[in-house]
């Protein structure tokens, strides 16, 4: 088992239970406790968890999200499938906003090279993924760059987006709950996402199944205000049913999406 594979398993374990023990992890992964401690130390350095005596606890809360590097390792396969499914929603000739995030990065990376679109990238990662696509007219806002996340934040983003009208916005979120609505962790990021949603006629949320039923700190909108949710097949059926009852078009990655 490679280090990256261990890190994925460690993050899944700590998020599933909230707390893990070094001895249990060493047994389940068949490695030494020293190896587990080194892995936990590295993951703590990335902001993915907090070490405590004998193990580690989750950092996931309503007001904190692990950093980009840590999130990019989590549920990578599901995010890739979501990105593929969401990218198929883009129509030739559209104007689109692609929000900052690990799942939206997959959307950008899977856009067809023959699509002629105008795209507003809300992070340096997204901009880099789109920069060399021959038929994409790339736009970026004049804004402050969030350290590590490399997302564009600040009041100038909202000002720029308010002057433009887009066909589709692809947005990542911290949680999607039929009652609490669509939520995000960070206030500055939330303001950028709200501006993106207001500027687009079609509002698409891309979120892996761990975000369904979750509630983060800042409310973006009620679920009925989004048009499409693209998630993975592990999504809880009861949450999917509640979202569809609110007139949200839910696409499970792997299904043929509606155009």
Q: 159 with 98, same domain?
A: yes
Q: What is the pLDDT of residues 20-72, one digit of tens each?
A: 999 999 999 999 999 999 999 988 886 677 888 899 987 664 444 555 555 55
Give the residue ranges of DSSP H helices in 58-154.
68-73, 76-87, 102-109, 124-130
The structure tokens listed for 70 are 């840590």
Q: Considering 11, 31, 59, which residue would you say is the last residue of a domain? A: 59
Please give the model's pTM, rounded to 2 decimal places: 0.73
- Quote the number of domains for the chain: 2
Tracing tokens 């911290």 back to the chain, one arrives at 174
Name which residue leads in pLDDT, 149 or 156.
156
Q: Pick from 239, 236, 240, 233: which is nearest to 254 by CA?
A: 233
DSSP string over 241-258? HHHHHTT-EEEEBTBPPP
pLDDT tier, 148 (very low <50, low <70, confident <90, very high otherwise)? low
Domain that holds residue 153: 74-252
**What is the rounded distance in angstroms from the CA atom of residue 37 to the CA atom of residue 26?**
9
Q: Is the pLDDT of residue 130 over 90?
A: yes
Q: 48 with 173, same domain?
A: no
Task: Say if 12 falls within a structural domain.
Answer: yes
């Amino acid at each position: 088992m490679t280090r990256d594979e261990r890190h994925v398993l460690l993050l899944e374990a700590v998020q599933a239970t909230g707390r893990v023990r070094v001895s249990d992890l060493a047994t389940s992964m068949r490695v030494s406790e020293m190896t587990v401690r080194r892995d936990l130390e590295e993951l703590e350095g990335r902001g993915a968890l907090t070490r405590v005596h004998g193990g580690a606890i989750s950092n996931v809360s309503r007001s904190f999200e692990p950093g980009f590097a840590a999130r990019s390792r989590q549920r990578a396969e599901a995010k890739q499938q979501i990105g593929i499914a969401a990218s198929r929603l883009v129509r030739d000739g559209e104007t689109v906003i692609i929000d900052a995030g690990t799942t939206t990065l997959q959307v950008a990376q899977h856009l067809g090279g023959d699509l002629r679109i105008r795209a507003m990238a809300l992070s340096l990662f997204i901009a880099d993924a789109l920069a060399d696509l021959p038929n994409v007219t790339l736009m970026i806002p004049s804004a402050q760059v969030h350290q590590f996340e490399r997302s564009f934040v600040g009041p100038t983003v909202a000002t720029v987006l308010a002057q433009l009208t887009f066909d589709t916005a692809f947005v990542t979120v911290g949680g999607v709950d039929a009652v609490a609505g669509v939520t995000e962790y960070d206030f500055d990021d939330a303001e950028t996402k709200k501006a993106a949603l207001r500027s687009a006629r079609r509002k698409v949320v891309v979120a892996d199944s761990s975000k369904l039923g979750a509630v983060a700190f800042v409310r973006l909108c009620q679920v009925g205000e989004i048009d499409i949710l693209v998630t993975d097949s592990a999504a809880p059926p009861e949450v999917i049913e509640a979202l569809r009852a609110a007139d949200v078009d839910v696409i499970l990655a792997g299904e043929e999406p509606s155009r």
